[in-house]
Amino acid sequence: MNKINILDHGYIRLVDVMGSDLTFVNAARVSYAKESSELSERDIRLIKFLAREGHTSPFRHAIAQFEIYAPLMVARQWWKYVIGSAHAEGSGDSLDAWNESSRRYITEEPTFYIPKEDEWRSAPENSKQGSGELMEASQGAVFTEALLRHVEEGEWLYNDAISAGVCAEQARLFLPAYGMYVRWYWTASLQSVCHFLAQRLEHDAQKEIQEYAKAILELIKPHFPVAVGELLSD
């Protein structure tokens, strides 16, 4: 399995992987001119030690590349990890890359995330961010219908502008932004991937990005079962 569908139209696809659990062992042991040809119990103990003691540089020698299709509100939260990866404690230079489709260049049919009537969440009682309990479906139906009308109007204005000869980079201003799906490639070291997962798998993370984080974990863990388990352990 290399692709998981998410939300109504989104997905994550694992495009490529470089490395294995053995990669981290050999990166750590190169200081002593040592190398393992297959993973042993001694090697597993070393990975656990590296993760437990915060010796993170060996975990930057394995790379994963994903194609992601998600609403813009998810993409912009995700982007913070690319910016922050170069400044996180012990991270060194960033090993993250991000290339995103742009409506400056493409005019494909826009796709939007529309929550179903039973998916709208209330504001939390004791926090300025995040969400609370699910709202009644009857109330959610009102918001789903309103959002659909908003999207339809924006699409009509966008298409009208394109038809009138307005350039794509300005016509896109008519499209409702935060729910619009965008597509990008994310390439990152395993350390960076696990940093993202550690924060976005938390119960108080936005539900939509939690769903993407769960998919990332499902796709990446079979390739690095020991390291991922240790880097995400409490």
Q: What are phi and psi of 98, to 5 degrees?
A: -145, 120
Q: How far, in whole angstroms, is CA 181 from its chain's centroid?
A: 13
> CB–CB of 157/174 below 8 Å?
yes
Catalytic annotation, pick one of 13, 103, 183, 200: 200
Q: Provide the token pair at 204.
A: 């108080």
Contacts of 187 (CB under 8 A, 6+ apart): 63, 64, 65, 66, 96, 97, 98
> CB–CB of 231/190 below 8 Å?
yes
E strand spans, the chain? 3-6, 10-18, 63-71, 97-100, 181-189
Q: Is 56 exposed, middle or buried (0-12, 13-18, 19+ CB in 10 A)?
A: buried
d(CA 221, CA 231): 11
Q: Taking the CB of residue 127, how many other CB atoms lie within 10 A of it?
A: 10
Active site residue 200: yes
E strand spans, 56-207? 63-71, 97-100, 181-189
Active site residues: 200
